[in-house]
Amino acid sequence: MKILKIDHLGVAVKSIEDGKNFWSDVLGMSFAGSETVDAQKVTTAFFPVGESEVELLESTSDDGPVARYIEKKGEGIQHVAFRVENIEEALAELKAKGIRLIDETPRLGAGGAKIAFLHPKATSGVLVELCQRD
C-alpha cells in the first residue's frame, strides 16, 4: 500500500454555516465549496490548507453517522483521511493483515473520490478513511 499524503481531516459539526465562520473568518482559510452526499447522510464543506483540506461534516439526518458521532462525542475531529495510490490494493493488503474494515470495497465519497473506512477498534480508536482521487 502506498500512502501519498494526509488528504483531509474530517470535522463533525452541528452547522456548516457556524463552522465556516471559524475556518474562514477567524483563520482566514478559503471555502472551496460544499456538497451533499445522500448515501452517507452528510453535507460536506472543504477548506484547503497546503496539499490537504479540512472537511466539515454536517449530518442531513438524525440517524446519520455524523449525527450519531456528535451525540456520543460532541463536535470535533471525526476522522483522518489518507490518500492512497490504489484503494482496492490497500484494502486487500489491510484485510490480509487482519485489519478490521468498515468498507471491504470502496464507495463513492465527496468530490467523486473512492473512499473506504477502517474500523476504529483496529486503529487505536481513530476512524481512518482511505481515499483515492483520479
What residue ranges define each of the domains in the chain, with the CATH number in brackets?
Answer: 3-132 (3.10.180.10)
pLDDT of residue 111: 86
Contacts of 93 by beta carbon, 8 Å cutoff, 6+ apart: 1
pLDDT tens digits, 47-98: 999 999 999 999 999 999 999 999 999 999 999 999 999 999 999 999 999 9
Q: In whole angstroms, give the CA distance from residue 105 to residue 83.
A: 16
Beta-bridge partner residues of 11: 56, 77
